[in-house]
Amino acid sequence: MTEENFLVPQDVYLKSGIHIGTKFRTKYMAPFIYKTRPDGLSVLNLQKIDERIGIAANFLSQFAPKDILVVSRRENGWKAVKAFGRNTGTRVFAGRYPPGILTNPALKNFIEVKVILVTDSWPDRNAIKDAMQMGIPVIALCDTNNQSNDLDLVVPCNNKGKKSLGLLFYILAREYLRKTGKLGANDEPSFTQEDFTEE
């Protein structure tokens, strides 16, 4: 796969640090790891990151915005997920996920969705648990230290950095709009990567 086929130029990926993992690696994430740096940090395979973002966008594009829920307990993801929700019309939870909103129809804030996307499978585990209970597929952004059990689709990336999360959600929003026909295949969206990234 050449760089031309990437969703964004390779240097844009590299600048965001989307490929820089943690010093800890799980066996689940080993297939996505390209190498370990001398300082002990694992480096994720850029092609696999790009490939999986594409697969996630394809999968999400099969659902209407109201049927998608994006959850981010981690503060570094709040700006990115809110921008994603604003630009795609999907529902988002930035902050503490209210348990039971997917499973308990008696709750005032009960919602029905068909797919959820979480920014980190550990802090967002309550949302994953609810989704599993309801048979809702889960897409999760996973760093080298994440477990991938109970997940339907793993998108390997640095899921802790603001720049990395901003870039990922920017690409995802753009591709979602392109694949659902709200944006021409080669058109650029009205929003920019900066709208998704913390200053």
User: Going residue by residue through the chain (199 aa), what tens digit of pLDDT does each one get?
Assistant: 455 689 999 999 999 999 999 999 999 999 999 999 999 999 999 999 999 999 999 999 999 999 999 999 999 999 999 999 999 999 999 999 988 999 999 999 999 999 999 999 999 999 999 999 999 999 999 999 999 888 999 999 999 999 999 999 999 999 999 999 999 988 999 999 999 996 6
In a domain, 196, yes or no: no
In a domain, 189, yes or no: no
pLDDT score, position 149? 86
The helix/strand/coil state of 198 is coil
d(CA 73, CA 96): 5
Phi–psi pair at 126, nearest 5 degrees: -65, -40
Phi–psi pair at 23, nearest 5 degrees: -80, -15
In a domain, 154, yes or no: yes
In a domain, 192, yes or no: no
d(CA 71, CA 83): 13
Q: Please give the angle made by the CA atoms of 109, 58 and 94, to the nearest 5 degrees.
A: 30
CATH code for the domain of 124: 3.40.50.10490
Could you give the count of Cα atoms lying within 13 Å of 168 in the half-sphere of its Cβ?
33
Which positions ≥6 away from 157 have C-beta within 8 Å? 18, 19, 44, 49, 53, 141, 142, 143, 164, 165, 168
In a domain, 98, yes or no: yes
Contact (CB, 8 A) for 46 and 165: no
pTM: predicted TM-score of the whole model, two decimal places: 0.95
d(CA 7, CA 111): 32
In a domain, 156, yes or no: yes
Domain count, the chain: 1
In a domain, 111, yes or no: yes
Domain that holds residue 154: 8-178
Which positions ≥6 away from 182 have C-beta within 8 Å? none
Number of H helices, E strands in the chain: 5, 7
